[in-house]
Chains A and B, each alone.
Chain A
Amino acid sequence: MSVTAIKFYQTGTHTVGNRLLDPSQRSVQADMRRTNSLNSGHRACQGCGEALGARYAIDAAMTATDNQLIAANATGCLEVFSTPYPETSWQIPWIHSLFGNAAAVATGIAAALRVKGRSEVRVIAQGGDGGTTDIGFGCLSGMFERNDDVLYICYDNEAYMNTGVQRSSATPGAARTATTPAVGKAPGNVFGQGKSVPLIAMAHEIPYVATAIVSELRDLEAKVKRAMEFRGARYIHVFVPCPLGWGTASNDTIRIARLAKETGVFPVIEAENGEVVAVSKIRKQLPVEEYLRPQKRFAHLFSPQPRLDVIGHIQALADRNIRRFGLVDEGAK
């Protein structure tokens, strides 16, 4: 007798399986009482990874804190698309001060809450990679070093998107931006510059550091929830593709994010007190070319002539990530 294979439904948004789960197991997204801290109707581009990442992160933080949350935002896309006066998409107390000071403003909020004895209210700071890795880096490091009770979330779209896609210190080598054009002997951004803020955060030995990716939203939610179990400085670095800046299709955001992880370009890890405690393994390792090819910011690596040397360099960096964090199980390849 022939057996009909039962289709496997991933549990998540808009899938059948989620309804069948125990309520405590359901994702925030599927919950009727979903907080929706960042309302729809904001002005992000279609398919904006940052909007998606922020909504899930803040919603998860809201759930974890029973809605007792205050957020400080750096200048950048997230701030601009969510608060064009007199409108605001934020359902939580929210402040934007400057490009470079979100971490310090959050420190101030945390200090005020401490003197007011409101320990139930928790503080989040958020910024893009520019506001985090570059101009806000001093304030961020200060916040880590003092171990202020703040969760800082960086939405890394690998460039200054709000000012028109200029390079940041999180822009990968060879990527084309408005200030690293795809011309010359070594087109795109130079290799060897830039910094890994997750590793730098770990070097501060703060209680909790994690990286996350918008193709694994449940993982992002779980990490935010975990972060909220700690007091002191915490950092989550979320990889958020930007269709506009990367030259990708709006409906490809999740696919691109998944490819970044599956190629090893972006390691998804978790660390406590400076030590890696968990990594999200690559399910099926793919060559970096698959990640690079759909993105216009890397188009010069494929035409007029394929730049195998540059692609090889990116592959080597991905392989190093895989080795460093043990992202691929032996024999899984």
Chain B
Amino acid sequence: MLKQCEGSHAVAASVSLCRPEVICAYPISPQTHIVEGLSEMVRDGTLLNCEFINVESEFAAMSVAIGSSAAGARTYTATASQGLLFMAEAVWNASGLGLPIVMTVANRAIGAPINIWNDHTDSMSMRDSGWIQLFAENNQEAADLHIQAFRLAEAVSLPVMVCMDGFILTHAYEGVDIPTHEQVDAYLPPYEPRQVLDPGEPVSIGAMVGPEAFTEVRYLAHAKQMQALELIPQLASEFKQVFGRESGGLVHGYRLEDAEIAVVALGSVLGTIKDTVDELRKEGHRIGVLGITSYRPFPLTAIRDALQHVSRIIVVEKCFAVGLGGIVSRDVRMALRNLPMPVYDVIAGLGGRAITQASLRKLFLDGINDKLEQVTFLDLDWKAVNRQLERERATRRSGPIAENLLRDLGVVAARVG
């Protein structure tokens, strides 16, 4: 049923249709509305046979999820940013133990300086944790990906992170087609754990593993992700059969067929990128887009197939490996190894800075005219940055960068000593 609702509520509704049995979460913006919605459903009986556990931290939230999943309950949690980092140790543990927990990450920047707005740094920091990571482009996809996520997680016994842009998606009202229980039940069978804590058949989970087997265990974790790589497109096509719409999959091409230049991105910025590309197309530029839905496992072959014919690639990413450059662009380069086209890193939208069509248009035109630097920080205020760098050179001292910048920009009534 098409419903005009907030992204968070669409996700909460979709998660509830998956019949989770244990939900445990700790509040953090911009994830809060999702778990508030679910707690209400548990309270008012809309979501039957489900325990909602309020905990004292994200570390506890993921730990409770580990326990309940290991004991055979379908388990869900959600977090963002500092919360994801606070639960990091347990995040790795959940995937190491092969527990099919589903978690929404309402993507948000990581401080300091503290910043509640959207970028992808949080989930990217967990990209090697062994979790599957799916990125939603819009609220419909966010809702749909959760249904696929439970199916996928339970099929390969791995946890799945569904990443959706904080505020931009979580707090946006859009029409979302919320499926029926019958549809979801037809697609998602009840959870049958592979290995469960049960006095009837005792097992030890989480034993200590030494050098003689650890490499094998890690290889098998990789092999499971490779299975997921096969499964994700299958699940997306089955999803289409049951729900009648395209959602999920590994990657999505847009106007790529005859493109000379391709823009690669993840998440909600794809909408703005596509609109900009439409305009440039009207002007005769052969430009196309590749959206990546499955970031882990990383679909090397699908990306290579989709991009091998283009001559230049711009990766627009809302994350940044400090001391190196782009994160996603490294992975894209790996997909294209031995192919001649250059790949440009564009770091954009950090901490929620708007990525405007005007900026993108200029960026893409620079790309088309072969005028791009290897690494571009979209809309970077060079004046402010250079002033701070000069100040540091002059005083040979570093200081609180953000505060100095803000003072220069006249943004804050800071106490200036």
List chain A positions with a Cβ less than 8 A from chain B: 67-70, 72-73, 79-80, 83-88, 90-98, 100-101, 104-116, 121, 138-139, 141-142, 145-146
Chain B, residues 63-81, CB within 8 Å of chain A (1/0): the string is 1111111111101000000
For the complex formed, measure the closest distance between the CB of A150 and the CB atoms of chain B, giving whole angstroms. Answer: 10
Q: Does B21 touch A at the CB level, under 8 Å?
A: yes
Inter-chain contact total with CB atoms closer than 8 Å: 163
Most chain B CB inside 10 Å of its own CB: which residue of A70, A141, A145: A70
Given A93-B204, A95-B67, 12 new contacts (CB under 8 A) = A67-B199, A84-B208, A96-B208, A108-B65, A108-B68, A108-B70, A109-B197, A111-B68, A111-B73, A116-B72, A138-B60, A139-B57
A85 touches B208 (CB 8 A): yes
* Complex A-B: 28 CB contacts under 8 Å: A68-B199, A69-B199, A73-B206, A85-B207, A86-B213, A87-B207, A93-B202, A94-B197, A95-B70, A96-B206, A96-B207, A97-B66, A98-B89, A104-B55, A104-B59, A104-B63, A105-B66, A107-B60, A107-B63, A107-B67, A108-B65, A108-B75, A111-B67, A111-B73, A115-B21, A121-B198, A142-B60, A146-B55
B216 to chain A, nearest CB (A): 11
Distance, CA A91 to CA B206, complexed state (A): 15
Q: Is the CB of B50 within 8 A of A70?
A: no
Q: Cβ of A111 and Cβ of B51 under 8 Å apart? A: yes
Interface membership of B365, Cβ < 8 A:
no
In contact, B67 and A138 (Cβ under 8 angstroms): no
Contact A142-B71, Cβ < 8 Å, known A90-B202, A93-B197: no
> Which residues from 172 to 206 on chain B have a C-beta closer than 8 Å to any C-beta of chain A?
197-199, 201-206
Across the interface, do A83 and B207 meet the contact criterion of CB distance under 8 Å? yes
Kindly state the separation between the CA atoms of A180 and B93 in the bound complex, as whole angstroms: 32
Complex: how many Å from CA A92 to CA B197?
Answer: 9
Contact B207 A138 (CB under 8 A): no
Bound: A104/B69 CA distance, A: 12
Q: Which residues of B contact A109 (CB under 8 A)?
A: 67-68, 70-71, 197
List the A side residues contacting B75 at CB < 8 Å: 108, 112
Of A94, A115, A139, chain B has the most CB atoms within 10 Å of the CB of: A115
Least CB distance, B280 to chain A, in whole angstroms: 50
B22 touches A88 (CB 8 A): no
Query: Count of B residues near A, CB < 8 Å?
Result: 43
A142 to B55, Cβ gap below 8 A? yes
Contact B204 A83 (CB under 8 A): yes
Cα distance, A221 to B90, chains bound together (Å): 33
**Does B374 count as interface, using CB distance less than 8 angstroms?**
no
**B71, A70: Cβ atoms under 8 Å?**
yes
Cβ contacts under 8 Å, A121 to chain B: 198-199
Report yes or no: B199 in contact with A70, Cβ–Cβ below 8 A.
Answer: yes
Q: Is A98's CB under 8 angstroms from B90's CB?
A: yes
Q: Which of A73, A95, A139 has the most chain B CB within a 10 Å cutoff?
A: A95
Instruction: Please indicate the chain B residues that have their CB under 8 angstroms from the CB of A93 in the complex.
Output: 197-199, 201-204
Cβ contacts under 8 Å, B213 to chain A = 85-86
Chain A residue nearest to B92 (CB atoms) is A98
Q: Is the CB of B63 within 8 A of A111?
A: no
6 shortest interchain CB distances as A-B pairs: A108-B67, A104-B63, A101-B63, A112-B71, A112-B73, A96-B206
Q: Which residues of B contact A113 (CB under 8 A)?
A: 71
Q: Give bound CA distance, A107 to B201, whole Å.
A: 21
Give complex CA distance A84, B202 in Å: 17
From A68, A86, A90, A139, contact of B60 by CB (8 A): A139
- The B13-37 residues at the A interface (CB cut-off 8 A) are 21-22, 24
Name which residue of chain B comes closest to A92, CB basis. Answer: B202
Q: Is B41 an interface residue (CB 8 A)?
A: no
Instruction: Decide: A94 near B63, CB < 8 A? Known: A67-B199, A108-B68.
Output: no
Given contacts A90-B202, A95-B205, A115-B21, contact A104 B210 (CB under 8 A): no
- Say whether B54 faces chain A, with CB atoms less than 8 Å apart: yes
Query: B305 on the interface (CB 8 Å rule)?
Result: no
In contact, B90 and A107 (Cβ under 8 angstroms): no
Given contacts A95-B206, A105-B63, A138-B60, contact A115 B49 (CB under 8 A): yes
B67 to chain A, nearest CB (A): 2
Check B208–A80 contact: CB distance below 8 A. yes
Q: Is the CB of A97 within 8 A of B97?
A: yes
A79-B208, A141-B56 as given contacts; A97 in contact with B202, CB under 8 Å = no
Among B24, B60, B89, B199, point to the contact of A111 (Cβ < 8 A): B24
Contacts of B73 on A, CB cut-off 8 Å?
111-112, 115-116
CB of B394 closer than 8 Å to a CB of A: no
Among B49, B50, B55, B67, point to the contact of A106 (Cβ < 8 A).
B67
Q: How far is the CB of B49 from chain A (nearest CB, A)?
A: 6
A120 and chain B: residue at smallest CB distance: B199
Distance between B305 CB and nearest chain A CB, rounded to angstroms: 40
- Cβ of B204: which chain A residues have Cβ within 8 Å of it? 83, 88, 90, 93-96
B321 at the interface (CB under 8 A from A): no
Max count, chain B CB within 10 A of own CB: residue among A67, A86, A95, A97: A97
In the bound complex, how far is the Cα of B55 from the Cα of A105, in angstroms? 12
Q: For residue B198, which residues in chain A have a CB less than 8 angstroms away from its CB?
A: 70, 93, 121
Q: How far is the CB of B196 from chain A (nearest CB, A)?
A: 8
Chain B nearest CB, measured from A165 CB (Å): 19
Complex Cα distance A121/B71, Å?
11
Q: How far is the CA of A79 from the CA of B202 in the complex (A)?
A: 16
Q: Which single residue of chain A is at the shortest CB-CB distance from B193? A: A112
B209 within 8 A of A: yes
In Å, the complex CA distance between A27 and B22 comes to 39
Q: Across the interface, do A108 and B208 meet the contact criterion of CB distance under 8 Å? A: no
Closest to A106 in B: B67
Closest CB-CB distance, A88 to chain B, in whole Å?
4
Q: Is B354 an interface residue (CB 8 A)?
A: no
In contact, B209 and A85 (Cβ under 8 angstroms): yes
- Chain A CB within 8 A of B406 CB: no
**Chain A contacts of B205 at CB under 8 A?**
94-96
